[in-house]
Amino acid sequence: MLPRFRLTADPRGRHPIAVPVRPGQPPPEGCRAAADAAGFDPAAGTALRLDGVLRRPVWLVGAPDGLEAAGARAAAALLEEDAPDAPPGPAARRPARHRRAMLDARGLLPAEVAALAMGAGMRAHPLPFLGARPPPALHRLDLLVDDPDAAAPALRRTEALLRATGLARDLAAEPANRLTPAEFARRLTALERPGLSVTIHGRAWLERRGYGGLLAVGRGSAHPPALAVLRWAGAGGAPVAFVGKGITFDTGGISIKPAAGMEAMKGDMAGAAACAGAVLALALRGSPCAAVAVLAIAENATGAESYRPGDVLRTASGLTVEVVDTDAEGRLVLADALHHAGTLAPRAVIDLATLTGAIVRALGHQRAGLFGNDAVLRDALMAAGDAVGEPLWPMPIGAAHRSDLASDIADLRHCLPPPDPNRGGTGWAGKFLPDAAHAAAFLRDFVPPGTPWAHLDIAGMDVREEGVESGPYPLPPGPSGYGVRLLDRLVEGRFE
Amino acid sequence: MLDIAFAKPSLPESGALVLPLAEEDLGGLLLAEWDRLLGGHVARGLAAAEFKGRKGQTVSLYAPGGGLSRLLLVGLGKREALDAAGAEAAGGAAVAALGKEGVASIDARALGSGAAAADLALGAALRSWRFDRYRTKEKPEDKPRLTGIKILCDDPAAARAGWPARKAVAEGVFLTRELVSEPANILSPPEFADRLRKLEKLGVEVEVLGQKDLEKLGFGSMLCVSQGSAQPPRMVVMRWNGTDQKKRDSQPIAFIGKGVTFDTGGISIKPAGGMEDMKWDMAGAGVVSGLMAALAGRRAKADVVGIVGLVENMPSGTATRPGDVVTSYSGQTIEVINTDAEGRLVLADVLAYCKKRFDPAFMIDLATLTGAIIVALGNEHAGLFSNDDGLARRIEEAGRAVGEHAWRMPMGEAYDRQIRSDIADMKNVGGGRAGGSITAAQFIARFVDGCPWAHLDIAGVAWSGKDGPTVPKGATAWGVRLLDRLVADHHEGRIALPAPEPAVTEAAAVSGAGSASAALLSEGTPASEPLAPSPDAPAAPAAAPAPETAAAVPTSPARRPSTRRPRR
C-alpha cells in the first residue's frame, strides 16, 4: 500500500515537510516572515510552498475545514510539486523528484494525527496505471509527532481503513477487460490471507439453486456470473450482511445504453467493491463483530444469450420477475444476493449499489440515497455517514412505488417502462419516473421479513469527476471508495 | 357543493342508504338493527357477497326493501386503526359508488363521535367535486345526480357544530381545484387576479399590482418571465386578519404561490408532448388562494398574508433570452441560463418583497417547480426544503394529520455552489441534471433574507391521474388542507409563535474526531412503512447556528440596470 506511513519524533531530514496551519494559529518558527510576505491565510484553505526558510522545502497548508481535508491538501501539494529542473510537459511525464515527505503533526492528539494521515492517504493513493510511465507517487510519508507510541494505535486503524478503501478504489478503477467476473473472484479469494473466508459460487451452483436473476443478467456475457461470499468471523454471533452489486461492465444489455459515457460502466461494481473493502477493514482491525459480504458479480453484455425485455425470471427466493428494461439489471442481481444473505440469518442487511440515475437527479453528487425498513438502522447509517464524510439522505418508499410494479404475467416487474414519446397521454408529469424508489420497493420484497434492512444507492457518489464537486475534499478523478469507511463506522457505532 | 344535513337515525323513505362498517361490526347491534328494519335482506346479502368490512371494500345490495333503492356497505377496516382519514375515505367511497342516485343517507354511527360524522361529510363533499363547465353534450343520465346526503348520527348537533369549519376548507379546496383545472386561455393572470378579488366578500383584503407597479418596485426577476407574453403579469397580495390585534401590531404568517398560468418554457422551449399539463403550473398560487378562502371562510383567528405571482411564460421576440442578466427586487443579479426555470425567478421577487413589506413570522412557498422532485419522490410526497427545523417538522406533522405527505430534502453549501455565475450573483440553474430540485431550493433560499422559510415543491402531487378516496382525478389542491391544519394547530388564538429553530448548517465535511450527527432526520412515513419515531437531531452546540440567509439585501442600490420594459 502506498504511501507507507512512519511515526517519528525526529524532525531532521531534507525531504519536503508539510505543516497544517489552522485559522488563528501562527505559522511555525522561521516561516512567519515569509508567510506574511506571501499573504498566507490559513482560512483560505490553500497550500504555500516556501523555499529557503528551512533547509528543506516547506509547505504551509491551510486547515480551515478539518485535519483530514488538510492532509489531503498537503498530499496534493506534495504530489504536484515541480522539481525545479524538470522538463516542461504534463505532470505524469516528469520524474518524481521526491518520493518521500514529512507531515508535521506535532501538537496534535492521536485522533487528529490519524485524521491527517487519512486525508493524505486518500489523496495520495495511486490508482491503477497501465502505461509505461506512471505518475509520481509518494512512497513514504513520515508523520512527525511528539509521542510516536501514543499515536500508533490510531494510525494502525487508519492504515487498515486506507488499505480497505484502496482495495475498493482499485477494483472499481480496473477496466472491464482486466476485471472480468472471474478475475474479480480471484482477487477476492486473495483476501483469505488477512483472515477472511471466501467462497465463490459459480454458474453450476447458481443453476442448481435457481438464482435466476443473477444467471439471466450474466448470461449474455462470455464471462459467467458468480456469487462471492466473504466472511469475517469476528467474535462469533449473527453476522451483519453487506450485499453488493458487482456488475463488472454494464452495456445495458439488449436495452443497450447510448455510447456517450459508457466507459464509466466499468465502475458498476463499486457497490460490491465497497462491501469487500468493508469486510476487509473489519478483519484488518480485528473487529469483534461478525460480518459477511455477499457480492453478485456479472457482466451485463449484449450477446446471443442475453436476457430479453419481457422475459420472466424465477429468482432464488421463488418470486418471478417480469423483465421490462435489461438496463435495470442491478436490482435483479441484488434480489438474488439479498435472498442469499437472508439464508445466513443476519442481524441486519445493508446493500450498496450504483443503481439508478434517478438518485443523482434527486440528490446530486453530495449525498447517497438511503432507503430501508428500520428507523434505528437508518439513523445509525446517517450518523456514520456524517462522521466519516460519506453523507446520505433518507428517501421514502411509498405505497404507489410498490403498486406501480404490479405485473400482468409475473409476481412483479422490476421497473416501469421508460415513457414512450410516441404514445400520448402520459402528460408532463408522467415523463418523470421515481426509479430509485421503484428499485427500493422492488428490493424490499427480497429481504427476509423482520430483518432490518437498508439500501444505499451510491450512483452519484462512487466516482470523482473533473469539475464536479463531490465529497468533503477533492480526490483525483476516479473511484472514491465510497461506502467502505461508512460501513466500518456503522459497525463500530451500532454493532460492536 | 353537496347539500349536507345531519339527523338522528331513522329509516330513509327512499334513495340509497350507505352503511360504513368496521370489521368488528359484523354481527353487531347496528347491523342487526338495519337487518330487522329491512326484513333480513342485509344479512343474506352480506353473506352472499362475503363482505368482511375490510378497508375500501364496498358491496351494493339493490332493492333491499324498506323502499330503498340500494344499500351500500362500505368497509372501514379495523376499528382501532380508524381515524379521521378513514372516515373521510368512507364518505368519499360512498359518493364514488352512488353516482346515479339522487338522494342518499349515510349511517355514520359506526364511526363513533360527532366529529367523525363531520369528517365523513367532508370526505363526501371533497370527492363529489366535478369540473364540467366546458361539457356541452353530456347527457343527463351520464352526469352524477347526487345533490345531497343526509348523515345519520346519534348526536347531530355535535356534527353540525363541526361542519362549518370543514365546509369552509372544502370551499377553499374547490376554489383551488377550479383555478388549477381552468385552461390557460381562460385563466390568464388578469383573470386570475379578478377572481381573487371576489375573496373580498369573505373579508380578505385584496390588492392587485400590475405591470407598472411591478416595474416601479423593481421586480426585474418576475418581469423577465412575463415579458415575452401577450398577457400582462399580476401580483395579488391578500391579507386575512382574524386576530383581535391591529395589523400594525401583528406579525403575520405568509404563504406565497408560484402562478405561472401557462409554461411553454419560453425560449428554452419545452418539448410538445405533455405540454398541455402546463396549464397547472399555477397550482402553487391556486393553493394559496384556496387557503385564504378557507381561512377567511372559517374566520380563522390568525393574521395571514397570501401573495401570488401570476405570469405566463411564452417565447416571442420580446422574451428573455438564455444568458440575459436581470436585477431582482432584492438587488441581487441573476444570469438566466434556462428560461424554463422561471418559477424560481417569480418566487425570488415575491419572497423578497413579502419579507420586506410584512416581516412575517415565516414564509412558506408552494410551487410546481421541478421534474426532478418527481424523479426523487414520485407522486405521493411533496418535496420540503427549509432553513428552520421546527417549521419543517410542523409542516410534516400537519401533512400526516390530513394525508398530504411532505418529505424533507437536503440543502447545503455544496449544492449552493452549483449556481454560482461568472458574471452575476448567481445563475438560475446549476449542476446539470444532478440534484435539480435542491439547486432550485438553494436559489430561492437566497431571497428570504433570514426569515424562517419552507419551500414545498408540489410538481408531483398537484395533479392526479386517477381517482383517490377524497380526491377525484385531476387537480388535487394538495396543500390547502395541510396549511389550514398548520395554522389551526400552531397559529391561531395565541400570541406566542413557536421559536425559530434555524437548521443546523452542514457539519464541516469531515471532523476527523467523530462529530455528532448533523443529519436532519425526517419522518415522513407512508402507511405502508411503519417506523418507530426517531429522536430529533441534537441542536448544534456552542457554534452559532447560522441559518441559510440570502446575501445581504441592499435596500436602495445606487444604480441598477433596468430590465427590458415592453409597452403595456
Show the beta-strand stretches assigned E in A306-398. Answer: 312-314, 320-322, 348-353, 368-372, 392-394
Count of other CB atoms within 10 angstroms of residue A192: 11
Q: How far apart are CA A57 and CA A129, in angstroms?
A: 28
- Which three cell numbers, joined as nine digits, stand for B567? 409597452
Average pLDDT of span B165-172: 98
Distance between CA atoms of residues A381 and A481, nearest Å: 17
Average pLDDT over residues A373-388: 98
**Pairing between strand A412-413 and A320-322?**
parallel
Q: Nearest C-alpha of chain A: how many angstroms from B97? A: 23
Q: Which of A368, A344, A334 is nearest to A481 (CA)?
A: A368
On whether the CB atoms of residues B124 and B149 are closer than 8 A, the answer is: yes
Residue B420 touches chain A, beta carbons under 8 Å: no
CA distances from B310 to B192, B222, B315, B367, B457 (A): 8, 9, 17, 12, 17
CA distance B411 to A392: 12
Residues A432, B375: C-beta atoms closer than 8 Å: yes
Which tops the pLDDT comparison, B47 or A217? A217
Average pLDDT over every residue of B468-477: 96
Query: What pLDDT band is residue B536 in, cutting at 50, 70 and 90?
Result: very low
Nearest to B145 by CA among B13, B57, B15: B15
In angstroms, the separation between the Cα of residue A386 and the nearest Cα of chain B is 6
Please name the residue ranges forming H helices in B300-381.
Answer: 343-358, 372-377
Q: To the nearest whole angstrom, how far is the Cα of A84 from the nearest Cα of chain B?
A: 34
- 3-state SS, B417-480, equals HHHCCCCCCEECCCCCCCCHHHHHHHHHHCCCCCCCEEEEECCCCCEECCCCCCCCCEECCCCH
Query: Catalytic annotation on B109?
Result: no
β-sheet bridge partners, residue A453: A349
pLDDT, greater one: B331 or B545: B331
Q: Does B277 touch chain A (CB under 8 A)?
A: yes
Residue of A361, A376, A433 lying closest to B434 (CB–CB): A361
Of the partner residues A376, A394, A427, the one whose CB lies closest to the CB of residue B277: A427
Does B372 contact A376 at a Cβ distance shorter than 8 Å? Answer: no
Task: Inform me whether the pLDDT recorded for B535 exceeds 70.
Answer: no
Q: Which of the two residues, B446 and A81, has the higher pLDDT score?
A: B446
Q: Give chain B positions within 8 Å (CB) of A109.
A: 513
Which DSSP symbol is given to B388? B
Provide the shortest C-alpha distance from residue B462 to chain A (in Å).
Answer: 10
Are residues A268 and A250 in contact, defined by beta-carbon separation less than 8 angstroms?
yes
- Give the residues across from A370 on adjacent strands: A394, A456
What is the DSSP secondary structure assignment for residue A491, as one 8-state letter?
Answer: I
Q: What is the pLDDT of residue B247?
A: 81
Burial class from Cβ neighbours inside 10 Å (0-12, 13-18, 19+) for residue A86 reads: middle
Cβ–Cβ of A395/B376 closer than 8 Å?
yes
What the block records as the C-alpha cell of A213 is: 436473476
User: Is A363 within 8 Å of B410 when comparing Cβ atoms?
Assistant: yes
Angle between the N-to-C axes of helices A110-124 and A148-173, in degrees from 0 to 180, rounded to the nearest 10: 30
B63: confidence class by pLDDT, cuts 50, 70, 90: confident
Residue B324 identity (one-letter amino acid): D
Q: Do B512 and A424 touch (CB under 8 A)?
A: no
High-pLDDT (> 90) share of chain B, %: 72
Q: Which of A36-40, A114-118, A377-381, B290-294 has the lowest mean pLDDT?
A: A36-40
- State which residue of chain A sits closest to B369, comparing Cα positions: A429
Q: Which residues 132-161 of chain B have a CB within 8 Å of chain A?
A: none
Among A140-149, A150-159, A334-343, B529-538, the minimum mean pLDDT is found in: B529-538
User: Is the CB of residue A86 less than 8 Å from the CB of residue A127?
Assistant: no
How far, in Å, CA of B347 to CA of B343, rounded? 6
> Of A75-79, A290-294, B40-44, where does the model show the most confidence?
A290-294
Structure confidence at residue B99 (pLDDT): 74
Integer Cα distance of A373 and A153 in angstroms: 36
Are B503 and B509 in contact by the 8 Å Cβ rule? The answer is no
Provide the pLDDT for residue B525: 33
Mutate to test the interface with B, among A386, A401, A465, A480 (most CBs of B within 10 A): A386
In a mutational test of the A interface, the residue from B510, B515, B521 whose CB has the highest number of chain A CBs within 10 Å is: B510
HEC string for B33-76: HHHHHCCCHHHHHHHHHCCCCCCCCEEEEEEEECCEEEEEEEEC
Interface residue B543 vs chain A (CB under 8 A): no
Residues of chain A in contact with residue B414, where contact means CB-CB under 8 angstroms, are 366, 469
Cβ proximity of A41 and A88 under 8 Å = no
Model confidence band, residue A98 (pLDDT cutoffs 50, 70, 90): low
The model's confidence at residue B505, banded by pLDDT at 50, 70 and 90, is low
pLDDT at B530 over 90: no
B5 beta partners: B150
Q: Where are the alpha helices (DSSP H) in A195-351?
A: 203-209, 212-218, 270-284, 330-342
Annotated catalytic, A245?
no
Note whether A135 and A126 are within 8 A (CB): yes
Q: Which of B271, B377, B433 sits opposite A396 (nearest CB)?
A: B377
Mean pLDDT, chain B, whole residue set: 88
* Residue A383 confidence class, pLDDT cut points 50, 70, 90: very high
Whether the pLDDT of residue B539 is over 60: the answer is no
Q: What is the pLDDT of residues A14-33, one digit of tens each?
A: 999 999 999 999 998 889 99
Chain A residues inside the 8 Å CB shell of B512:
66-68, 111-112, 114-116, 118
pLDDT at res. B118: 96
Pick from A111, A383, A399: CB nearest B528? A399
Residues of A with CB below 8 A from B281's CB? none
Q: Of the ranges A250-254, B74-78, B204-208, which one carries the lowest mean pLDDT score?
A: B74-78
Residue type, B115: A
Beta pairing, strands B363-367 & B253-263: parallel
Most confident of A477-486, B6-15, B497-506: A477-486
CB-CB under 8 Å, B463 with A363: no
Convert the pLDDT of each residue in B81-131 to its tens digit. Answer: 899 999 999 999 999 998 788 889 999 999 988 799 999 999 999 999 999
> Taking 60 as the threshold, does the pLDDT of residue B338 lie above it?
yes
Phi and psi at residue A464, to the nearest 5°: -95, 130
B551 or B255, greater pLDDT: B255
Query: How far apart, in whole angstroms, are the C-alpha atoms of residue A373 and residue A39?
Result: 53
CA distance B505 to chain A (A): 12
Catalytic residue among B270, B299, B301, B356: B270
Nearest chain A CA: its distance from B373 CA (Å): 7
Q: What is the mean pLDDT of chain A?
A: 94
Q: Which helix (H) or strand (E) holds B16?
A: strand B16-21
Q: Is the pLDDT of residue A330 over 80?
A: yes
Q: How many CB atoms lie within 10 A of CB A22?
A: 15
Q: How far apart are CA A70 and CA A77, in angstroms?
A: 10
Q: Please answer yes or no on whether A68 and B437 come within 8 Å at the CB atom.
A: no
**Can you give the pLDDT at residue B567?**
42
Mean pLDDT, residues B381-394: 98
Chain length of chain A = 496
Q: Do the beta carbons of residue B398 and residue B524 sit within 8 Å?
A: no
Measured from the Cβ of residue B122, the count of other Cβ atoms closer than 10 Å reads 26
Mean pLDDT in residue range B267-273: 95
- Give the strand pairing for B363-367 and B453-457: parallel
- The answer to which of A90-94, A160-164, A387-391, B258-262 has the lowest mean pLDDT is A90-94
- The predicted complex's ipTM stands at 0.93
Residue B464 CB neighbour total at 10 angstroms? 17
CA B103 – CA B109 distance, rounded (Å): 19
Pick from A391, A429, A433: CB nearest B277: A429
Instruction: State residue B403's pLDDT score.
Output: 95
Q: What is the pLDDT of residue B547?
A: 41
Contacts of A38 (CB under 8 A, 6+ apart): A48, A50
Q: How many CB atoms lie within 10 A of CB A75?
A: 27
A200 pairs with which residues across the strands?
Answer: A228
- Residue B130 to residue B177: CA distance in whole angstroms: 9
Name the nearest CA neighbour of A242 among A186, A185, A211, A280.
A280
